[in-house]
């Protein structure tokens, strides 16, 4: 047995490995991405990036029914995409164990909402475990396979950002390779036609009752008694916050299984405490269960529904104690996220701004184009919504179809933009879709996707041609531009907006941060030629700043993309030496 520091995602991957996982299919999404990346390092496990979360879960379901312990991972909004197979897999059950990791994002560090995935466990009627540190990430992931097979159900492992990305000590063990189980044909169990599904629903409800009995005694749900004047019911990272804030001034009921929840265990704990608080981020999930079973608790009337919790908040709410802090009166400017220096999306957005168009946006690095000075994203809803949303906009207001476009990344287009484009072709809206092809899945950390020609392990594979795909679904006007070339890009946008039919522009240039990309020497500003007009500042490049009335370029950031030189009317931006 070896002990080492691991982030929660690495520990979860190790637990899956030790638990005998054989097939893993996921779609990258922060904060869940690293689980599958770490899994891919194990040769005993077949790992892949799927085009989207629905496909990933269906792969895992198929593998589990065929007899191989399987896994899929996604962030919380990805579970929305995978909800369809999740709900039905709850009815079919599994053959070999199936584990689903979902990572919620309280505080929205990298997400468009703060949804609470615990509701999915209850709605789909599947077991959900929630670890509170890296050690539990390993042990819970490993145990999830046993529970999955014991109760014939997929099991969800819920992480949050702090658990997924924080490090703690983990003791690793050996792999339990149980091999592939025999598949036995059973249409009554696995074919969810109405007649079969009615019978399986009875099985599901009986399963939940058995799981509640299990939840009453499992060590995953444990009590820690100290001062019983205050009782804390909690789970996940909030357990750590409460322990650090209150220490032995309170007693704790730590719930490692958050669905289904025990009844007698909670009632017995509450009976021994004078006042019981429920400490949980996001929705009052545990609180509502407590009140439903007759327990009087203090929850969201004292704690917020928004954002992350922290130790000082718990201490203030429960003990009324303020944590001392040091403050300064320094006027520190804000540092909003920006597109990287040399980002290919910058030139595209600048060209769109010159055309004064409305931009239907999507999920990815390019969403940062909403920020000034570019300011060229008008909407951002969910993966793929830019394409479908543009179609809806143009059907509602056809007169302005020549003044609006959709932007979507290559990975996001493969995820869920293709069907929107099919809808544009099929239902004929005069829409222009711009695919921002930076040759990688950028914002989540450079994962491969079906257009890159490489698998998760870097092996060569079929690369989907965006041009041929667009043509195949019925788009006749398809053209490729280099966003570093502003004139070419502007011309393409102008011509496609003027066309009387749907069109696709592929803005193609690899992400500036890819290791294989060879950059030009950094540029510099000739101060004698610079007039201080600030035209170069309009593209929002972090390498360009203004000092003493003149533009200046940070050579440590500049990649020599030459977009700024195309804006300078005085030839003040030159090649560096």
What pLDDT is stored for residue 105 in this prediction? 96
Contact 340, 542 (CB under 8 A): yes
Tokens of 342: 């040399």
Give me the tens of pLDDT residue by residue for the chain, a chain 577 residues long: 789 999 999 999 999 999 999 999 999 999 999 999 999 999 999 999 999 999 999 999 999 999 999 999 999 999 999 999 999 999 999 999 999 999 999 999 999 999 999 999 999 999 999 999 999 999 999 999 999 999 999 999 999 999 999 999 999 999 999 999 999 999 999 999 999 999 999 999 999 999 999 999 999 999 999 999 999 999 999 999 999 999 999 999 999 999 999 999 999 999 999 999 999 999 999 999 999 999 999 999 999 999 999 999 999 999 999 888 888 888 888 888 899 999 999 999 999 999 999 999 999 999 999 999 999 999 999 999 999 999 999 999 988 889 999 999 999 999 999 999 999 999 999 999 999 999 999 989 999 999 999 999 999 999 999 999 999 999 999 999 999 999 999 999 999 999 999 999 999 999 999 999 999 999 999 999 999 999 999 999 999 999 999 999 999 999 999 999 999 999 999 987 6
DSSP code at position 235: -
Decide: 142 and 19 in contact? Cβ < 8 Å.
yes
What's the token pair of residue 54?
Answer: 């629905």
d(CA 547, CA 363): 34
Here the tokens at position 303 are: 């704690």
Residue 487 to residue 275: CA distance in whole angstroms: 69
**15 class by beta-carbon count within 10 Å (0-12 exposed, 13-18 middle, 19+ buried):** buried
**What is the residue-wise DSSP string for 208-228?**
HHHHHHHHHH-TTEEEE-S-T
- Partners of 234 in the beta sheet? 254, 279
Name residue, tokens 């600030």: 534
567-to-339, 341, 532 alpha-carbon distances in Å: 18, 16, 13
Residue 129 bridge partners (DSSP)? 157, 257
* CB 385 within 8 Å of CB 365: no
- Give counts: helices (H), strands (E), the chain: 20, 22
Q: Assign 3-class secondary structure to 124-141.
A: HCCEEECCCCHHHHHHHH
Concatenate the DSSP letters of all residues of 252-306 into one string. Answer: EEEESEEESPPSHHHHHHHHT-SEEEEE-SSS-HHHHHHHHTT---B-TTTS-SS
E-only strand ranges, 12-117: 23-26, 46-49, 70-75, 98-104
Region of 356 please: left (phi>0), alpha (psi -120 to 50) or beta. Answer: left
Q: DSSP letter at 117?
A: T
CA dist 143 to 177, 204, 243, Å? Answer: 14, 20, 25
Cα–Cα distance between 75 and 55 in angstroms, integer? 14
| pLDDT value of residue 577 | 66
Task: Evaluate whether 405 touches 415 at the Cβ level (below 8 Å).
Answer: no
Give the containing element (helix H, strand E) for 489.
helix 486-498
Nearest to 172 by CA among 15, 372, 351: 15
| 157 close to 163: Cβ distance less than 8 angstroms | no
Q: φ and ψ at 538, to 5 degrees?
A: -70, -15
Closest CA to 110 of 513, 511, 339, 443: 443
Q: Where are the alpha helices (DSSP H) in 152-193?
A: 161-165, 187-190
Alpha-carbon span 219 to 223, nearest angstrom: 9
Q: Are 260 and 208 in contact (CB under 8 A)?
A: yes
Query: Of how many residues is the chain composed?
Result: 577
Other CB atoms closer than 10 Å to residue 23's CB: what's the count?
A: 22
- The structural domains of the chain, ordered by start, are 2-217 (3.40.50.970), 221-319 (3.40.50.920), 344-508 (3.40.50.970), 523-575 (3.30.70.20)
Q: What whole-number distance in Å separates Cα of residue 330 and Cα of residue 310?
A: 25
Peptide bond connecting 31 to the previous residue in cis, omega within 30 degrees of 0: yes
What is the helix, strand, coil percentage profile of the chain, to 5? 40, 20, 40
pLDDT (0 to 100) of residue 329: 83
**Pairwise CA distance, residues 176 & 352, whole Å:** 55
pTM of the model: 0.95
Nearest one of 256, 248, 259, 253 to 279, comparing CA atoms: 253
Q: Which residues in 498-549 belong to E strands, given as ranges?
A: 503-508, 523-525, 544-547
Rounded CA separation 490/349 (Å): 10
């Amino acid at each position: 047995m070896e002990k080492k520091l691991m982030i929660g995602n690495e520990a979860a991957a190790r637990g899956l490995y030790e638990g005998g996982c054989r097939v893993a299919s996921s779609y990258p999404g922060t904060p869940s991405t690293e689980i599958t990346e770490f899994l891919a390092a194990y040769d005993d496990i077949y790992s892949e990036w799927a085009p989207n979360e629905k496909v990933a879960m269906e792969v895992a379901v198929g593998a589990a029914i065929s007899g191989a312990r399987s896994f899929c991972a996604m962030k919380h909004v990805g579970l929305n995409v995978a909800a369809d197979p999740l709900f039905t897999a709850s009815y079919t059950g599994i053959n070999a164990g199936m584990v689903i990791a979902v990572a919620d994002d309280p505080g929205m560090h990298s997400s468009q909402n703060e949804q609470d995935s615990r509701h999915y466990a209850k709605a789909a009627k599947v077991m959900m475990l929630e670890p509170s540190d890296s050690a539990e990430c390993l042990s819970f992931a490993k145990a999830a396979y046993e529970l999955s097979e014991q109760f014939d159900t997929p099991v969800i492992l819920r992480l949050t950002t702090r658990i997924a990305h924080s490090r703690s000590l983990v003791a690793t063990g050996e792999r339990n390779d149980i091999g592939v189980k025999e598949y036995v044909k059973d249409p009554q169990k696995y074919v969810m036609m109405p007649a079969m599904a009615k019978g399986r629903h009875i099985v599901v409800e009986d399963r939940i009752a058995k799981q509640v009995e299990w939840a009453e005694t499992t060590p995953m749900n444990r009590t820690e008694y100290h001062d019983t004047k205050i009782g804390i019911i909690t789970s996940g990272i909030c357990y750590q916050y409460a322990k650090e804030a209150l220490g032995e001034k309170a007693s704790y009921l730590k719930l490692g299984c958050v669905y289904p929840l025990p009844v007698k265990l909670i009632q017995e704990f509450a009976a021994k405490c004078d006042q019981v608080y429920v400490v949980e981020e996001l929705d009052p999930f545990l609180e509502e269960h407590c009140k439903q079973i007759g327990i009087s608790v203090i929850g969201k009337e004292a704690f917020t529904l928004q954002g992350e919790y922290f130790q000082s908040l718990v201490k203030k709410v429960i003990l009324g104690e303020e944590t001392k802090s040091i403050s300064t009166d320094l006027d520190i400017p804000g540092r909003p996220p920006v597109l990287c220096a040399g980002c290919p999306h910058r030139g595209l957005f600048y060209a769109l701004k010159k055309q004064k168009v409305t931009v239907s946006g999507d999920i990815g690095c390019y969403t940062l184009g909403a920020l000034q000075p570019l300011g060229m994203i008008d909407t951002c809803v969910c993966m793929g919504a830019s394409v479908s949303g543009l179609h809806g906009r143009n059907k509602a207001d056809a007169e302005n179809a020549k003044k609006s476009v959709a932007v979507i990344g290559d990975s996001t287009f493969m995820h869920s933009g293709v069907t929107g484009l099919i809808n544009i072709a099929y239902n004929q809206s005069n829409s222009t879709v711009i695919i921002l092809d930076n040759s990688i899945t950028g914002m989540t950390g450079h994962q491969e996707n079906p257009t890159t020609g490489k698998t998760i392990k870097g092996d060569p594979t079929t690369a989907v041609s965006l041009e041929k795909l667009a043509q195949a679904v019925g788009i006749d006007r398809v053209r490729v531009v280099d966003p570093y070339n502003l004139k070419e890009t502007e011309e393409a946008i102008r011509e496609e907006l003027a066309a009387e039919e749907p069109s696709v522009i592929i803005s193609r240039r690899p992400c500036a941060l890819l290791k294989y990309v060879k950059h030009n020497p950094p540029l510099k500003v000739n101060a004698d030629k610079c007039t201080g007009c600030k035209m170069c500042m309009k593209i929002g490049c972090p390498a360009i700043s203004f000092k003493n009335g003149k533009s200046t370029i940070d050579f440590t950031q500049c990649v020599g993309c030459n977009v700024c030189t195309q804006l300078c009317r005085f030839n003040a931006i030159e090649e560096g030496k």
